[in-house]
């Protein structure tokens, strides 16, 4: 594989930092540019309030942060870690200028011609890129990854949906503070507390999941015909979103089948052995008190990229089941997902 020069839009925030951390020693991608309005003009290592225990990778530390304009970057493609409102204004400029934009922002996720991708779940939605380019007359394009809670939910629903006709999903999340960025949640708000509200999160889960699980038809994605209801909570946990999922199907649901399809679930990234693809996208635990965020958020051979599932059990009737899942919100739920999308695009010669 050739080596790609990569830019990180909004590289000083928590997601931007996670991109830089995960791309350290990446076999395909080299970070060559970092943008940031508040930090531009300074060396990255001096501008950033680095949040991790590992040091800033040396090749990035000395990069001078630039403005988020296409002309100031000499790269093959960009990852966007911009806040959503900024992303809405900025990302199109890059796509117009011929650059692929792989975005973690929510700004364009639900636009009809923008792919919202989990590489194991709906790689065929990447066909929307051609639709988008034609429609918007762009040389580049925008591809998005889903909201942090949505990724893990959609990954787990996918193999179940391939075996059973899911009608309704009721999900309650317990989401880590790192999901709110930095400074994010004040400690005075969350110590000895839970906040049963995350702005916009429930809507994102309820809508994005349907698009991801939908079918690509000719020039658009037909959304899955599932109803989802989400209740989201912020909890005093550093990393890892835990979700209790109650699923109702049209027919009887066999638990053993469900467990089997979860464990067997694999997708294109595993087939192509992409560098950031975990060998098991879904890890099934049998202990009745797992998954737990601190113990399981880094499970698997690519830490943070597997969703961990436990407590698969019958619901109120034979048509329903319940399970608990855990996804690492800043890896599979953000930067890791975007990197896996980029690897997939690279393998398709689309970067």
Contact 329, 175 (CB under 8 A): yes
232 catalytic? Reply is: no
Distance, CA of 161 to CA of 213 (rounded, Å): 9
Outline where 8-137 has alpha helix (H): 14-22, 44-47, 58-61, 84-96, 128-136
Residue 107 or 309: the one with the smaller Cβ distance to its own copies is 309
* Contact positions with its own copies (CB under 8 A) in 52-91: 52-53
* Contact positions with its own copies (CB under 8 A) in 13-42: 14
Residue of 125, 232, 241, 328 with catalytic role: 241
User: Given candidates 231, 260, 263, 270, which one binds its own copies under the rule CB under 8 A?
Assistant: 231
Across-strand partners of 282?
307
Triad 334, 339, 344: Cα angle to 5°: 130
> From the CB of 4, what's the least distance to its own copies, in Å?
30
How many Å is the Cα radius of gyration of the chain? Answer: 19
Distance, CA of 329 to CA of 240 (rounded, Å): 5
| 215 phi-psi bin (left φ>0, alpha ψ -120 to 50, beta other) | beta
Q: Is 256 in the site for its own copies (CB under 8 A)?
A: no
> From the CB of 130, what's the least distance to its own copies, in Å?
35
**Locus of tokens 């599979």:** 332
Residue of 125, 148, 232, 328 with catalytic role: 148
Q: Cβ atoms within 10 A of the Cβ of 297, count?
A: 26
Q: Is 237 in the site for its own copies (CB under 8 A)?
A: yes
Residue 191 or 218: the one with the smaller Cβ distance to its own copies is 191
Q: Is 322 in the site for its own copies (CB under 8 A)?
A: yes
Residue 57 or 92: the one with the smaller Cβ distance to its own copies is 57
How many amino acids of this chain bind its own copies (CB under 8 A)?
57
Residue 229 or 348: the one with the smaller Cβ distance to its own copies is 229
Closest CA to 269 of 155, 327, 347, 160: 347
Options 74-82, 108-116, 125-133, 170-178: segment touching its own copies (CB under 8 A): 170-178
Contact 125, 116 (CB under 8 A): yes
> From the CB of 42, what's the least distance to its own copies, in Å?
16
Q: Is 191 in the site for its own copies (CB under 8 A)?
A: yes
26 catalytic? Reply is: no
Query: Contact letters (x/-) for its own copies, 114-153, by CB under 8 A?
Result: ----------------------------------------
> From the CB of 60, what's the least distance to its own copies, in Å?
18
- DSSP state for residue 124 in the 8-state scheme: G
Distance, CA of 285 to CA of 304 (rounded, Å): 16
User: Given candidates 170, 261, 272, 350, which one binds its own copies under the rule CB under 8 A?
Assistant: 170
Closest CA to 158 of 10, 150, 59: 150
Distance, CA of 2 to CA of 71 (rounded, Å): 23
Half-sphere exposure for 286 (CA within 13 Å, toward CB): 2
Distance, CA of 80 to CA of 115 (rounded, Å): 15
User: Given candidates 61, 88, 290, 319, which one binds its own copies under the rule CB under 8 A?
Assistant: 290
Options 20-28, 38-46, 151-159, 316-324: segment touching its own copies (CB under 8 A): 316-324
User: Given candidates 1, 89, 135, 238, which one binds its own copies under the rule CB under 8 A?
Assistant: 238
Provide the annotated active-site residues. Answer: 148, 241
Question: What does the binding site for its own copies look like in residue numbers (CB under 8 A)?
Answer: 14, 51-53, 168, 170, 172, 174, 177-178, 182-197, 227-229, 231, 233, 235-238, 242, 244, 246, 288-299, 310-311, 315-317, 322, 324
């Amino acid at each position: 594989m050739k080596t790609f020069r990569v830019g990180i839009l909004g590289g000083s925030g928590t997601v931007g930092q996670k991109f830089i951390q995960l791309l350290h020693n990446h076999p395909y991608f080299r970070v060559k540019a970092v943008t940031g309005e508040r930090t531009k003009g300074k060396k990255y290592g001096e501008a950033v309030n680095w949040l991790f225990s590992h040091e800033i990778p040396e090749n990035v530390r000395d990069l001078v942060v630039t403005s988020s304009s296409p002309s100031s970057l000499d790269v093959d493609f960009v990852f966007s870690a911009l806040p959503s409102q900024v992303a809405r204004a900025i990302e199109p400029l890059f796509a117009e200028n011929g650059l692929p934009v792989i975005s973690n922002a929510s700004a364009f996720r639900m636009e009809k011609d923008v792919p919202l991708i989990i590489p194991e779940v709906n790689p065929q939605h990447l066909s929307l890129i051609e639709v988008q380019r034609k429609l918007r007359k762009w040389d580049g394009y925008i591809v998005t990854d889903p909201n942090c809670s949505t990724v893990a939910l959609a990954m787990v629903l996918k193999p179940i949906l391939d075996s059973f006709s899911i009608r309704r999903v009721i999900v309650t999340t317990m989401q880590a503070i790192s999901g709110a960025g930095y400074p994010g949640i004040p400690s005075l708000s969350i110590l000895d507390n839970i906040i049963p509200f995350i702005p916009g999160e429930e809507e994102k889960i309820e809508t994005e999941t349907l698009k991801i699980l939908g079918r690509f038809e000719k020039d658009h994605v037909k959304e899955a015909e599932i109803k989802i209801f989400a209740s989201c909570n912020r909890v005093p946990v550093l990393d890892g979103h835990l979700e209790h999922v109650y699923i109702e199907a049209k027919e009887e649901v066999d638990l053993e089948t469900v467990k089997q399809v979860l464990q067997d679930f694999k997708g294109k990234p595993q087939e192509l052995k992409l560098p950031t693809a975990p060998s098991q996208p879904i890890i099934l635990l049998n202990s009745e008190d797992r998954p737990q965020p601190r113990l399981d958020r880094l499970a698997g051979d690519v830490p943070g990229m597997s969703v961990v599932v436990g407590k698969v059990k019958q619901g109120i009737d034979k048509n329903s089941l319940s399970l608990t899942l855990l996804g690492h919100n800043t890896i599979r739920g953000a930067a890791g997902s975007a990197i896996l999308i980029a690897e997939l695009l690279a393998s398709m010669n689309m970067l």
